[in-house]
Structure 1
């Protein structure tokens, strides 16, 4: 039975800010300009965190605002009226984004799925594709087990969603995408619904 899935990327984290600082350093070097000291500091912290495998970053102040903005948009659009189950990654940024969206909607069952964790630095290499594919298969199995659910929301991570759906672009923080699930691990249309 086809299902409507909503994939929601978590709100901005401190790590997202640091990685953007690192990107800004790279852009400065490409233009043969000296990078700003604030970008150097942020970039160094982002690089150190990535190298150490830190993947459970806290939300930034902007991220907390994004959740509030998204919750208001979704409330206005009556988004949660047809959603009875929402899954999220166990990482704190996904948990907090999910909680901020659901708030007082007690009819929505919340489920934490280990298989939704963001991809690790190791999984970004070709050698680690097998564990990642196993996690994708667990997620598909979970979707198919929800036989009575026609509409499912999922809060997770950009790299994971991009690879899972076979896309060549990442979702922005707090983007909401509607994905048609046809069954047997096949997907139909993918359409952006809301963006902050």
Structure 2
């Protein structure tokens, strides 16, 4: 990344970090974008340049990193094993602070209706992308019921653990997702 890109990434991360802090301290609805801008020491217009809507301050798209890891999973891995591989790669690439912030975002998404609605669009898009990627890896049509079933099983397990993890922050979410997906590997 160029110096300019690194500065942009730092500014974006700072804005999101301050937003999460304020949401935690004041609540999502009570926090304004102007307060986030002030806390991050940037103009409100800068916040909107990086995050077009308040909901976007919470949403974080891990899809590109996850999909890159899924695409690069060894070809001999079945679909569930490939997803486990990709999730392990993603978890290993995140710092403890990133994992904690991710959990905080996920808890907000589950408890704030506006965020749930915004995240649902991302979730449905991600499910379709996972389905297409698994179909391509298996040499099957995305409309194949087998691909639909595998994708649904994988996403269902991840979602179930995600809900539990949001209620119990002490849980080792990545390890529990890996354990739960291991039980599905019989489908490979």
Q: TM-score, normalised by structure 2?
A: 0.33
Structure with more of its chain in helix, by fraction? 2
Instruction: Determine which structure has the larger strand proportion and give its number.
Output: 1
Normalising by structure 1, report the TM-score.
0.32
Greater RCO structure (CA 8 Å; 6+ sep): 1
